[in-house]
Amino acid sequence: MTATAAGVGAWIRYGGPLQDGEIEWAARHYRTAVLQPWETEAAARLKDARPDMTVLAYRCLSSVRDFEPPERRASGVGWREARARGWIACRAGEPVEWSSYSGHFQARVWDADYRSTWAQRVAESVEGTAFDGVMADNDVFEDYYGLDLPAIAATDPRAPADAAGLRTALGALVEGAGQALADRGRLLVPNIAEARREPGRWKRHAAWGGGFDECWLGWGDAAMFDANTAAAQASQLHGPGLGLLRTPSGGRGSDYDGSRRGVYGLAMFWIIGGGDPHLSYTATGHDDYSRTPWFPAMDADLGRPRGPVRKSGRVWRRRFEGGVAAAIPDGAVGGTVTLPEGAVRPGPQGRPDGEPLPRRLRLRPHEGVVALTP
């Protein structure tokens, strides 16, 4: 199978089992894929069809999972070994289970032996596979999972008592894992959501291959960021390495094509990113990683920018060789964008043969448009 490269999509696909036909579809519509680490055959098929596609194996930096068999493990270290070697965090003598994910237990990422073992095991696991590297989840900024770090630190003298200490430990883990993978010619791409809150964090953690922002432009459909926060995330689109961006969207299945948030995120992707080939984009609902989300504009090619980002009133806008991207990152007030004469929405294949657009288009807050000029 040989597929023609198309689109800017990221296939974040580490949920349920792969379905028939998904590999062929993905090869036609995505430039990056993240699969479960045991899906080595699927990774090989993708790379065979699309040698230019970056295919990463999912791994979790921060959890050990008691339900995972050794041959199908997303955590870096198995449950039995972690228990035996004291690598599971405890609070009041009991293992600390994540509040929102049953069966996920907090790893003692502040233990140097755990970090070293995680790095070596994960790096070794991609040898002999088609994976280009690893997407390392849960490079967290805050205590998102109800750990109660002060209570852990009360009986664990090595444990951090606050989120800043947890971030320091994870930074050391990222550096060690990044080096171990680099020694094997592979990438490390951590999930560095909220990196905007700490100057230099994205650059440091993305230094080994790139970064993934699972909360780009918002936390969820009802919690999108304002324009200032969106601007604070802009530097993440300029490296180092790859940039994987996920905008929250409630669109699923047949409804996905009409996802307002998905199109808004894509428009901002073009406006801020300028068509950088190292970037890829997706829009999904919460933990919605068991599908092949896509809409026609994801395959559209606007070409190279014809100027910088323009901001007029509430509208952010950018011209390209093949059209215009415009959006309203403000959450309170909409705005009107003037489009080139003859502009159209992308057609079914992302080509400039879709629905004609008016010269003046009214956009609501957190709404965008990708307009092509035939």
Interior CA angle at 358 toward 355 and 362, to 5°? 110
Interior CA angle at 216 toward 368 and 345, to 5°? 25
DSSP state, residue 344: B
Bond before 157 cis per omega within 30 degrees: no
Phi, psi dihedral angles at 315 (to 5 degrees): -90, 130
With tokens 């490296």, the residue in question is 239
CB burial string 170-182: b at 16+ within 10 A, e below: bbebbbbbbebbb
Count of residues making up the chain: 374
The domain at 9-214 falls in which architecture? Alpha-Beta Barrel (3.20)
- Condensed to tens digits (0 to 9), the pLDDT of residues 314-346 reads 999 999 999 999 999 998 899 999 999 999 999
Burial class (CB in 10 A: 0-12, 13-18, 19+), 332: exposed
Contact by Cβ (8 Å): 292, 248: no
Distance of CA 232 to CAs 60, 129, 199, 269, 328, Å?
A: 26, 37, 10, 14, 15
CB burial string 137-150: b at 16+ within 10 A, e below: bbbbbeeebebebe
Reduced to 3 states, what is the DSSP secondary structure of residue 91? strand
The domain segmentation of the chain, as residue ranges, is 9-214
Alpha helix stretches (DSSP H) within 147-214: 149-155, 163-182, 201-205
pLDDT tens per residue, the chain (374 residues)?
Answer: 555 557 899 999 999 999 999 999 999 999 999 999 999 999 999 999 999 999 999 999 999 999 999 999 999 999 999 999 999 999 999 999 999 999 999 999 999 999 999 999 999 999 999 999 999 999 999 999 999 999 999 999 999 999 999 999 999 999 999 999 999 999 999 999 999 999 999 999 999 999 999 999 999 878 999 999 999 999 899 889 999 999 998 655 444 444 789 999 999 999 999 999 999 999 999 999 999 999 999 999 999 999 999 999 999 999 999 999 999 999 889 999 999 999 999 998 899 999 999 999 999 999 999 999 98
